[in-house]
Amino acid sequence: MTTSIFQFGEIKSEYPVAVLNERTVRAAAGILFVFALISFMNAWLMGNFFPTKVFVCAFLIEFTIRIFINPKFAPVMVLAQWLVKGQQPEYTGAPQKRFAWSIGFILAATMFYLVVLKSVVGPFNIIVCASCLALMFFETSFGICIGCKIYNLFNKAQAQLCPGNSCDIKTEQQNNISKSQLAILVLFAVSVLAIFNYFSDKSNESTLSSATNGVINKEVDVKEAERCRVPDFAKAMGHEEKWKLHNNCK
């Protein structure tokens, strides 16, 4: 094995291409996904773009180090390596990862220009953020590198050493789901939709009931205020409190 400060992936004699530990890569994607989601939701729901600006800067630094220096020295990769240190390494090809991370770098640079430098807020930002989230989610949850699949579209030399040996598995050997499993999946989706509609209707009924009660209470308060209005003769006699007491008014 040869190592260098400026190097992308590890060179191991038993593999035909430079490799990366897929377990570290997926752990790093998971870490980034959590913070990306937090910053995205702050911007989307609360209009607070401060976490987004911080995350974009950190994301750009991370991917700059990964691509132009060495993934081994990228901070999130270092943390991920420590988190999975007790697991058996699973080596995958580095060339396709570099291509995939280049896509991430371009997205990060775009967001840095728009959000950090220009403070632009708009649908384009949302699309870029959603794209980053989707890429990281598929990577960390399913071990599917979408950028690596795009790599195969632009390179005659197809990706090697893919996660789960997906590059070498033939279509007929894939772990396809059966009809019964598909039926269960559809039934589950229909059940969840029915539950959603049930509670949605309940929520709407509760909201309507609260609004109706509010109107009724308001009408009752108006009538009560009219009933308990002290007459002029009682005021003239100085018997306001006694009149209220006799008429059960507060």
Q: Check if the beta carbon of residue 157 is closer than 8 Å to that of residue 93.
A: no
Cα–Cα distance, 172 to 146 (Å, whole number): 22
Q: Please compute the mean of the pLDDT values over residues 35-43 and round it to a whole number.
A: 91
Write down the pTM of the prediction.
Answer: 0.71
SS3 assignment, position 143: coil
For the beta carbon of residue 25, count every other beta carbon within 10 angstroms.
27
- Residues 119-132 have a mean pLDDT of 83
Q: Where are the domains of the chain?
A: 19-176, 182-245
Contact 1, 12 (CB under 8 A): yes
What's the average model confidence in pLDDT over 86-107? 90
Lowest mean pLDDT among 28-37, 82-91, 135-144: 135-144
Q: What is the pLDDT of residue 237?
A: 65
Token pair, residue 4, equals 């260098």
| Predicted local distance difference test score (pLDDT) of residue 202 | 76
- Whether the per-residue pLDDT at 191 is higher than 90: the answer is yes
Main-chain dihedrals φ then ψ at residue 238, nearest 5 degrees = 75, 25
pLDDT attached to residue 1 = 47
Residue 11's DSSP bridge partners are: 2
Q: How many helices (H) and strands (E) does the chain have?
A: 9, 2
In this structure, what token pair is assigned to residue 106?
């371009």
pLDDT (0 to 100) of residue 12: 86
